[in-house]
Amino acid sequence: MILPFLREASKNLFSKPSTEAFPAAPAPAKPNYRGRISYDPEKCVNCGMCKKVCSPAAITTEIEEVEGGQKITYHFDLTSCTFCGTCQDFCDEKAIVLTDDYLMVAENKEDLIVSGSRIKPVVKGKLTCDTANCIYCGLCARNCPEEAITVDRATKSWTVDHDKCIQCGKCISKCPKKVLSFAEPAPEGVIFGEGCVYCGICAKKCPVSAITVDRATKSWTIDRDTCIKCGQCVKNCPKKALSMGPIEE
């Protein structure tokens, strides 16, 4: 035949159609297809790496204080997800897996949100390093999702910013020398520092009257048992002489 299309058409007319029988028969996705997210909360350490790398901000967390610790819930919004798989790649715990389920069809948007939660027991102490055994390899710093740890090999210093630390415990698991640990938290209390003029405002502000100030003798005492560590005294000190901190017994 002269017309190639004509030949093709007449050939097709008598051959089987190439249509997949999809709704009747299941059509498995191809290997490595990134479909619906499955989240295993038990594996999750709440490091937040996934959240950090998620470009459309499809991952949200909820932290709820419950008895026995924090209830940490992760929501994966499939209607917002780009299915790039970066969260899966970054999840060391393999808690996030993009499955090959592509039938993400729903009438309600709620049906398209994958959620999981677990209760994380409360961590007592701060991150500490047994600097005696530390080799300053820096693995902890590199793996810290919040960049709270700074390690300087040259000066052999290891510091942690406790404000940034979310106590995910990643560094502890990464540490080759197992020198990192969560120390028992030191008891906190009001610390009396330099510059006090013994005005007595702190004593007045204290809701439980734990502080006594004597201007004449220039003495400042606190009853640690009564103190509830509310911080009113620290807040109201005109000379900023008071602070909260660990107290040596």
Partner 1 sequence: MNFSLIGALQILFKILIFPGLLFVVVIGLFLAGIDRKLVARMQKRVGPPLRQPWFDFLKLLGKETIVPHAANKAVYLAAPVIGFTGLVVMALFIPVFGYSTFSGNGDLIVLLYLLTIPAVALIIGGSASGSPYAGIGISREMVTMMSYELPLIIILLSVARKVGGSALCFSLGQIVNWQASNGCLAFHPALIPAMLAMLLVIPAEVGTQPFDVAEAETEICEGPLIEYSGAPLAVFKLNTAMKMFIMTALFTNLFFGGVSTASLIGAGIPAIALDAVIMVLICIVVTFLSMSLIHAITARFKIEHLFKFYWTVVAGLAALSLVLVWFGL
Partner 2 sequence: MLKNAIAKSMMRSPWIYHINTGSCNGCDIELVAVLTPRYDAERFGFKLAGTPRHADIVVISGPVTSQSKDRLIRTLAQVPEPKCVVTLGSCPQSGNVFKGSYSVEAPVENFVHVDVAIAGCTVKPEAVIAGLYKAAEILEKKREAMNK
Q: Pick what 102 binds: partner 1, partner 2, none; C-beta below 5 to 8 Å, kind-dependent.
A: partner 2
The CA–CA distances, whole Å, from 54 to 37, 78, 85, 144 equal 13, 12, 9, 17
CA distance linking residue 2 with residue 88, whole number of Å = 54
In terms of C-beta distances under 8 Å and separation of at least 24 residues, what long-range contacts does 172-179 make, across chains too?
Answer: 172/127, 174/139, 174/140, 174/143, 175/139, 175/140, 176/135, 176/137, 176/139, 177/133, 177/134, 177/135, 177/137, 179/129, 179/130, 179/131, 179/132, 179/133, 179/134
Q: Does 179 bind partner 2 (CB under 8 A)?
A: no
User: Which parts of this chain interact with partner 1 (CB under 8 A)?
Assistant: 3, 5-6, 8-10, 12-13, 15, 17-19
- Per-residue interface string for the shown chain with partner 2, residues 23-52, x marking contact by CB under 8 A: x---x-x---x-x-----------------
Q: Which of residues 110-169 bind partner 2 (CB under 8 A)?
A: 112
Q: Pick what 13 binds: partner 2, partner 1, none; C-beta below 5 to 8 Å, kind-dependent.
A: partner 1
Least distance in angstroms from the C-beta of 16 to partner 1? 8
Any bridge partners for residue 119, and if so which? 71
Report the residue number, 2 or 132, with the smaller CB distance to partner 1. Answer: 2
Report the residue number, 5 or 26, with the smaller CB distance to partner 1. Answer: 5
Q: Which of 73, 80, 117, 150 binds partner 2 (CB under 8 A)?
A: 80
Q: Pick what 105 binds: partner 1, partner 2, none; C-beta below 5 to 8 Å, kind-dependent.
A: partner 2
CA distance linking residue 55 with residue 198, whole number of Å = 54
Q: Pick what 209 binds: partner 2, partner 1, none; C-beta below 5 to 8 Å, kind-dependent.
A: none
Determine which helix (DSSP H) or strand (DSSP E) holds 97, and give its type and residue range: strand 96-98
Q: Does 3 bind partner 2 (CB under 8 A)?
A: no
Place of tokens 């780009």: 82
Residue 87 sits at φ, ψ, to 5 deg, of -60, -40
Any bridge partners for residue 77, and if so which? 113
Q: Does 79 bind partner 2 (CB under 8 A)?
A: yes
Report the residue number, 82 or 131, with the smaller CB distance to partner 2. Answer: 82
